[in-house]
Amino acid sequence: MRKNSDKFSRQRGPQPFHNFTQTVRAYLGLTQDQLAMLMQVSRAAVSMDEYGTRALPWPQVQLLHALHQALPPGPAAALPVLLNLTASDRDDLDFRRQGLRLDLYPLRQKLARQQVQLAQARCWQQILPQLHTTFPTDNAHAHEWLDHFEKRAANTLRNQAGAPALLQVRLAAIEFEIAEITQQLGAVAGGGEIAAHDEVAVGRYGHGPHRT
């Protein structure tokens, strides 16, 4: 079943008969595992949602809705029904929002470290040719160290070049979900101070969610 799912998302693209979740996966080329990781649920939860046996939790429905809105024009898929929030729903959403805010700081720190490491590796690659000519050819120790740094820089650029982009996507998804939760809670409460506070919090990363 998982092999068929991977083939579906990576090779076929969006089809008119795809349901809501399948359309998102098909457009983005995501497996059920990858979509599950992005939305922080199990693969089984994504699979059950696609087959209509069990709906995703409310926060994931909101995130899925946001992903679908960002897709280019294509075959229409029925949007999930958004239920009215109960008091318990609001408490759950607020609890999740607090957890998402806590997730942002370590991810931002990780992103900063990755960007620094990549910048250092690019710097090494830029200056190594000159350094090899600076040290005498008979200085075996110096050239051994330069070779070591050259290999390390190459490994960093080869293995981590795409890591910051993936983290930025994850951060953007988290911030978007925080903003959507805040909007829902603000709509229930009539907007006001809570929504204004979260606009400031989202803006700290440098950009808010793109709205259509």
Give the domains, in start order, of the chain with CATH numbers. 2-69 (1.10.260.40), 90-203 (no CATH)
Closest by CA position to 178, among listed 107, 109, 111, 112: 107
Packing angle between helix 87-134 and helix 58-69, nearest 10 degrees?
A: 60
Closest by CA position to 64, among listed 81, 44, 89, 88: 81
pLDDT at 14: 66
pLDDT at 140: 87
Q: Which residues of the chain have pLDDT under 70?
A: 1-14, 72-83, 187-212
pLDDT at 139: 86
pLDDT at 180: 83
pLDDT at 79: 45
**Separation of alpha carbons 178 and 200, rounded Å:** 12
Contact in structure between 120 and 184 (CB atoms under 8 Å): no
pTM, two decimals, is: 0.49
pLDDT at 138: 85
Is the torsion defined by CA of 69, 71, 72, 76 positive or negative?
negative
